[in-house]
Structure 1
């Protein structure tokens, strides 16, 4: 009969057992949710996280990229020749900036220095071409450009376009279209 006695200790141990069971069940659920969430998320390059950037309106850009009007922009601090800048942008699933209007980068008020953009002279086409093969609209910028295949274009918000030897090192701007 002593085994069936109800004492405060048996009540306490029963309560602690139930609490322990609930804590273990909660831990199992949390671990399962965490594993499922990691499995669903696409792999990102090191140091990049997807987050909505202020003023982006409709896009989510990686860390260190600026979202604006459904595009993501990366302004490098590092200086590279034009071809290396183009290759870096391509490795980030983007391209060197292709300007669509004079005020496209109006949000980047601090853009004081010249940066490489995706415009270079094509000797084969005898024309200035964007990376996608389209020609430069002279309505966009009206000044004569030389016909030198060793020249690429730099852009500054305050100064506009500038021709430069493609092997010179400058910072660059990548653009990723999201729509």
Structure 2
């Protein structure tokens, strides 16, 4: 029928209309992260931060330690030389297969490194026997000169001070004897002065002299450098 207006009743389900009145939070059913998951995540981040700080600290420590060891260390990166350093070598009597110029050599703090020896120079003066006892307490011995090159080095570091040698008269034959038991090679140097039973060797300025052991002077202790 043309031109007629048709009216219809719409029956809206009760469930649909009721859903409109629900609180918005009731529509969101998103699961919450358990608390222990969040704690584990924070612990993981904290562990990474601590690890990074430890790596940085170890790097700085290693760099500083390397700088401190520079004064008492000589290193040769040659592989063959480093391997030859593993051969046994006894001090103070070197053999023909000397390895004194190879590998890494270390000295304690405040000791001077020269070739295969470490030297400690005193700042005070004592008698020869007191000096000998001090070197023994440092697990070392008094200065024993082996060649002219070493004597030149010692004269350079003593700065013209009076310094005891590890040399004294110990036998009735009145022979000069080093503290390691070897006899003085008089072609190396000769001591001027008396040679009595209470005589000890001393470097005075750039001369080697005989002096009474009860006199006082500076002293030098020496030990083998670690490789």
Give the TM-score normalised by structure 1: 0.70
Deviates more, 1:134-143 or 1:74-83: 134-143
> Structure 1 CA distance, aligned partners of 2:44 and 2:117?
53
SS at match of 1:124: coil
Whether the 8 Å contact between 1:52 and 1:59 is mirrored in structure 2 is no
Correspondence 1:133 to 2:181: yes
SS at match of 1:86: helix
Q: How does 1:86-101 map to 2 (within 5 A)?
A: 86-101=132-147
Deviation at residue 92 of structure 1 after TM alignment: 1.2
- Structure 1: state its 5+ residue gaps: 35-49
**Higher share in helix:** 2
Q: How does 1:47-58 map to 2 (within 5 A)?
A: 51-53=69-71, 56=74, 58=104
Q: Which residue number in structure 2 is paired with residue 85 of structure 1?
A: 131
Deviation at residue 107 of structure 1 after TM alignment: 3.7
SS at match of 2:134: helix
Structure number with bigger Rg: 2
Give the TM-score normalised by structure 2: 0.57
> Structure 2 CA distance, aligned partners of 1:17 and 1:155?
67
**Higher share in strand:** 1
Structure 1 counterpart of 2:116, from 45, 70, 74: 70
C-alpha distance 90-3 of structure 1, shift in aligned 2 (>3 A)? farther
Structure 2 counterpart of 1:161, from 203, 208, 212: 208
C-alpha distance 105-63 of structure 1, shift in aligned 2 (>3 A)? farther
